[in-house]
Amino acid sequence: MTIISSDIHKAVEILSNEDVVAIPTETVYGLAGNIYSETAINRIFEVKQRPLFNPLIVHLHSAEQLDDIVIEFPQKAKLLADHFWPGPLTLILKKSDSIPDQITAGKDTVGVRIPNHPVTLELLKALPFPLAAPSANPFNRISPTQAKHVEDYFQDQIKMVLEGGDCQRGLESTIVGFPNGEPVIYRYGSIPLEDIEGIVGTLQVKNKSETATPDAPGMLAKHYAPMTKTILVDDLQGTLSQYKELRIGVIKFSGSEITQDNVHTVILSPNADLAEAASILYHTLHQLDRLNLDIIIAERLPDQGLGKSMNDRLERATK
């Protein structure tokens, strides 16, 4: 039985025994283990069925811990950290020798972030080691934004989900690397591109990649996918008229419901608020995926701010 509980002491006990615990963050739930325990890290890869070439993000409670973890902290990385931590920003920095290769898939860089969730910050402070935590979903599936999603995925395979309520942001962290000392976006996420540029100026985006071992494997073309066939469209009405015979789930940003008997509509934000839409996008995909529909049709979001991040995820869900 998986326990779903907010008992931080229990989580500390399990993690100290080199086992894994699912933890809440403001973005999505993560599957966490001691970064220095080979047993715990192996277990993360095993439970997630994640390929070993895909490195893990290290979660900290304070930037002071970076001294043990990275050997360089470029000026622009520091500006971003000062502005967005704790928060949904992952920085890819040159790693120190003490970070096991298992975490970084042999790379000389490591992903780090300070999550902004009170329960997980308290947990991190109570532990003598940082936590590696990929999103708590099986490889290629939709990330979990509720404890229940994690339980449904892993059942008895993990001992505990640390309860932290619904994830407020609902999309993974934005990842920024510094391959030549200058910032590059590796993954769109919960911090809009425009907000990052507001701090460090215009930057390069390497979010899209079709290669097998991309710089950040979250960039793999197919990812974040429901089991139900899912498509992303610009012309919703036109597409609906082509699928009259099917049971359809529709995801719309705002506006009104589709009044057609074969259609189940979810409006992400009646007030057309991108942050609200982002916070329930994954939950909506989880929900629609349970309805045994023939197809899920998502309407493309406005291509700005968090709309860009959501379109990115929907594109990967529909490959």
Q: Select 11 or 171, whichever has its Cβ closest to Mg ion.
A: 171
Describe the strand order of the beta sheet including 263-267 as a list of residue ranges. 230-233, 295-299, 248-252, 263-267
Given 10, 83, 94, 107, the residue binding ligand TXA (CB under 6 A): 107
Q: Does 172 bind ligand TXA (CB under 6 A)?
A: yes
The window from 13-21, 26-34, 252-260, 300-308 that contacts ligand TXA (CB under 6 A) reads: 26-34
Given 34, 104, 269, 309, the residue binding ligand TXA (CB under 6 A): 104
Torsion angle, alpha carbons of 114, 120, 123, 125, to 10? 30
Confirm if 175 and 90 have CB atoms less than 8 A apart.
Answer: yes
Q: Select 60 or 274, whichever has its Cβ closest to ligand TXA.
A: 60
Q: Select 117 or 252, whichever has its Cβ closest to ligand TXA.
A: 117
Shortest Cβ 113–ligand TXA spacing (Å): 6
Q: Select 54 or 254, whichever has its Cβ closest to Mg ion.
A: 54
- The residues in 28-47 that bind ligand TXA, with binding defined as CB under 6 A, are 28, 30
- The residues in 200-219 that bind ligand TXA, with binding defined as CB under 6 A, are 215-218
The window from 115-123, 132-140, 249-257, 287-295 that contacts Mg ion (CB under 5 A) reads: 132-140
CA distance 159 to 17: 12
Binding mask 51-70 for ligand TXA (x = CB under 6 A): ---xxxx-------------
Shortest Cβ 13–ligand TXA spacing (Å): 21
Shortest Cβ 228–Mg ion spacing (Å): 19
Given 11, 22, 25, 249, the residue binding ligand TXA (CB under 6 A): 25
E-state strands within the chain: 3-5, 21-23, 30-34, 57-59, 89-94, 109-113, 131-132, 160-162, 174-177, 184-187, 204-205, 230-233, 248-252, 263-267, 295-299
Distance (Å) of CA 87 to CA 27, 63, 189: 9, 12, 11
Shortest Cβ 163–Mg ion spacing (Å): 20
Given Mg ion, ligand TXA, none, residue 216, with its beta carbon under 5 to 8 Å by kind, binds ligand TXA
Q: In 3D, which of 100, 102, 132, 97 has the Cα closest to residue 115?
A: 132
Left, alpha or beta for 293 (phi > 0: left; psi -120 to 50: alpha)?
A: beta
Confirm if 14 and 21 have CB atoms less than 8 A apart.
Answer: yes
With CB atoms as reference, the residue minimizing the distance to ligand TXA is: 218
Q: Select 162 or 248, whichever has its Cβ closest to ligand TXA.
A: 162
Q: Residue 206: how many CB atoms within 10 A of its CB?
A: 17
Residues whose CB is less than 8 angstroms from the CB of residue 77 and which lie 6 or more positions away in sequence, other chains included = 91, 93, 176, 178, 183
CA distance 208 to 312: 9
Q: Which position has the token pair 């934005």?
A: 174
Distance (Å) of CA 1 to CA 10, 31, 159: 15, 17, 7
* Residue 288 token pair: 């629609």
Given 102, 116, 120, 135, the residue binding Mg ion (CB under 5 A): 135
Given 60, 110, 225, 297, the residue binding ligand TXA (CB under 6 A): 110
Given Mg ion, ligand TXA, none, residue 111, with its beta carbon under 5 to 8 Å by kind, binds ligand TXA
Q: Which residues bind ligand TXA (CB under 6 A)?
A: 25, 27-28, 30, 54-57, 88, 90, 92, 104, 107, 109-111, 115, 133-135, 172-173, 175, 186-187, 215-218
Q: Which residues bind Mg ion (CB under 5 A)?
A: 135
